[in-house]
Structure 1
Amino acid sequence: MTKFSDIKGFAFDLDGVIADTARFHGQAWHQTADEVGTTWTEELAESLKGISRMDSLQLILDHGDHADSFSEKDKELLATKKNLNYQKLIETLTPEDILPGMLEFIRSADDNGYKMSIASASKNAPLILKQLGLTEYFVGIVDPATLHAGKPDPEIFVRAAEVLGLAPTAVIGLEDSSAGIDSINGAGQVSLGIGDDKVLSKATLNFKQTSLVTLENIKNKMTN
């Protein structure tokens, strides 16, 4: 098992890990579901976490048995409209929206010489980081538009380690979705799940909430 002393960097998911932009995704996707006639449920909302925009749209269409009702052009228009609605919402973000403890953790990691990158399915990650005032802390952001497959495929976290110039075993990936944990594990990194340990049962490490994520707590979990 990887030792804490082996860790040199962190790859972060964004929504639900650094800021609760997931609620904005939920609002925007809910609008899309209403538009196409799909009933919005908590189960559907949960299934959209951590996956790409077009895959999310397809799930919404499948959930309402509308898979064959929209052309590819229609789908592109729906996805674009959703993203415009989402962008309007995230433009209201400020540093006050950073989840509890994450600013302190990011600053601590930076102060201690750890490299950090973003591995988010969101194409709006640069805008979100800017709104939160966090851009300077990250070496780079994986562009999801350049990926061949989304989470749970490991590609995005493989790329996140490459951005850092680190071997996978030297990186801890932080996620709040089961698809994201699968992606981290598939990339050969240490997976740190934030949330319900039953939902994130495949995570190497688990913290119930962001406020518990500290270098010391991670070290303790990796030692015990």
Structure 2
Amino acid sequence: MNAQRAVIFDLDGVLTDTAELHYRSWQDVTDALGVRFDRRINEQLRGLSREESLRIVLADRWEHTPEPRRVEIMREKNDRYLARVAEMTPNDVFEGIPALLAALRQAGAALAVASSSRNARVVLERLSLAGVFDAVVDGNDAPRSKPDPQVFTAAAAQLGVPTTRCVVVEDAEAGVQAARAAGMRVVGVGPAERVGAADLVVASPGMLRADALLGLVAVV
């Protein structure tokens, strides 16, 4: 690509609300296991891989759960999650996001999704957003999950845009840390106590503005 600037979006909590689908799927699994799980614990899973999420969910049980059983639990949770994803439609895209993407494209920015989820492409297809982005990097492509910067540096490489010309939009603390580790500017979506280390913080995805995002990586 010939773009001089890029905007790289996290998926869950930025483009759509899959957090609730994850919560309900984990709730199904933990109820069957007899493991305590609530929304506070669910918040800790933002931006983490499936395995790291399970480690938090199982807590003290992690070390006593054989690897084959861990794999089985993760598969059970993912199956329940995908069943819920199958019911998603383009109406589940956050309000304001389609207009934002159009404005960024009009401004000549390259666009990417970088998510720790291995199901990112499936979700984008359900939302009719798959063709909007120039690159999609997920947990299948970048196995080291956030706060490791791998998923973001891989997205920048696919776009052919230097990391210093990329701005990331994230809703998780681990994602903000990963973007900074990649040498990128970052906009946090959500409460300051979670994403306050970002260069710019907005309360919700609907408050994102193309000029504010691109202003963080202005071409001089």
| TM-score after normalising by structure 1 | 0.91
Are 2:164 and 1:169 equivalent residues in the alignment? yes
Contact 1:91 1:131 in 2 (8 A): yes
Instruction: Give structure 1 stretches of 5+ with no counterpart.
Output: 1-5
SS at match of 1:173: strand
Structure 1 CA distance for aligned equivalents of residues 175 and 80 of structure 2 = 24
Structure 1 CA distance for aligned equivalents of residues 161 and 113 of structure 2 = 14
**1:219, distance to aligned residue in structure 2 (A):** 5.4
What is the match of residue 27 of structure 1? Answer: 24
- One of 38, 42, 51 as aligned partner of 1:41: 38
Contact 2:5 2:214 in 1 (8 A): no
**1:98, distance to aligned residue in structure 2 (A):** 0.5
What is the match of residue 15 of structure 1? Answer: 12
Structure 1 CA distance for aligned equivalents of residues 25 and 74 of structure 2 = 10
Contact 1:24 1:86 in 2 (8 A): yes
Distance change >3 Å, CA 221–CA 153, structure 1 → 2: closer
Moved more, 193-202 or 179-188: 193-202
What is the match of residue 99 of structure 1? Answer: 94
Identity %: 29
Are 2:175 and 1:180 equivalent residues in the alignment? yes
Q: Summarize deviations over 1:68-124 as a string: whole Å, max 9, x none.
A: 332111111111111110001011111111112111111111222211111111111
Structure 1 CA distance for aligned equivalents of residues 215 and 115 of structure 2 = 27
- Within 5 Å, give how 1:22-171 maps onto structure 2: 22-62=19-59, 65-171=60-166
Structure 1 CA distance for aligned equivalents of residues 143 and 211 of structure 2 = 36
Structure 1 CA distance for aligned equivalents of residues 149 and 216 of structure 2 = 24
Instruction: Give structure 2 stretches of 5+ with no counterpart.
Output: none
Structure 2 CA distance for aligned equivalents of residues 38 and 203 of structure 1 = 34
Q: Summarize deviations over 1:170-198 as a string: whole Å, max 9, x none.
A: 11111000010000000000011001122
Contact 1:117 1:163 in 2 (8 A): no
Contact 2:165 2:217 in 1 (8 A): no
Contact 2:185 2:216 in 1 (8 A): no
Structure 1 CA distance for aligned equivalents of residues 200 and 49 of structure 2 = 25
Contact 2:167 2:214 in 1 (8 A): no
| Dislocated runs of 4+, deviation >3 Å | 217-223
Q: How many residues align?
A: 216
| TM-score after normalising by structure 2 | 0.92
SS at match of 1:28: helix
Q: Tell me the amino acid that sits aligned with residue 41 of structure 1.
A: D
**1:141, distance to aligned residue in structure 2 (A):** 1.2
Q: Tell me the amino acid that sits aligned with residue 12 of structure 1.
A: F
Contact 1:7 1:172 in 2 (8 A): no
